[in-house]
Homo-oligomer: A and B are copies of this chain.
Amino acid sequence: MPEVDLLLDEQALRASRLVTSLQESDPAALSLGIKLGDISPGRVTLEQPIRPEMLNGHGIVHGGYLFLLADTAFAYCCASLGRLSVTRNAEIAFIAAAHGGTALTATAAIRTTYGRNSICDISITTDHGKLLAEFRGTGSVMSTVK
């Protein structure tokens, strides 16, 4: 196996270890059934089942739960770079209502880091591939880990 692939594997393993460690101490994510998907440095995918108590008065997934999943993906995506961060500002555009579908997917990618800050973009889709929301967050590092 070429050396560069070994390096990439090591980086992905480290990213995965950092995110897993953060999630294990995250009651909010665990209680909602949020699961880790693909993880590499600066890129994280999460999945979450849609439960009846996540619906709002219009019979669709409450926008707050879409935001919560995106914000979780943001924190995990920063953690994948060894940067334990808190969200300072976040913006979300709601694109479509979640009719049908049994799960949500968050696909997060760091757009840029500067000083202690990160900007991260997250798309929320259903397991049917329907795009529900686009989230952008700006966060600050609280502490760094290796």
A residues sitting closer than 8 Å to B (CB atoms) are 22-23, 25-29, 31, 52-58, 62-65, 67-69, 71-72, 75, 86-97, 111-112, 114, 117, 119, 121, 123, 131, 134, 136, 138, 142
Partner of A56, one of B54, B75, B97, B138: B75
Known A89-B138, A112-B95; contact A64-B72, beta-carbon cutoff 8 A: yes
**CB atoms of B95 and A92 under 8 A apart:** no
When all copies of this chain in the complex are counted, the total is 4
Partner of A94, one of B68, B69, B87, B112: B87
Known A92-B89, A112-B131, A136-B91; contact A64-B56, beta-carbon cutoff 8 A: no
Residues of B within 8 A of A111 (CB): 121, 134
Residues of B within 8 A of A27 (CB): 52-56
In the docked arrangement, what's the CA distance between A89 and B18, Å?
A: 28
Residues of B within 8 A of A55 (CB): 27-28
**CB atoms of B96 and A114 under 8 A apart:** yes
Q: A63-B71, A64-B65 are in contact. List 8 more A-B contacts (CB 8 A).
A: A28-B64, A56-B72, A58-B142, A64-B71, A86-B94, A95-B114, A114-B131, A119-B134
A124 CB, nearest partner CB in chain B, Å: 12
**CB atoms of B93 and A138 under 8 A apart:** yes
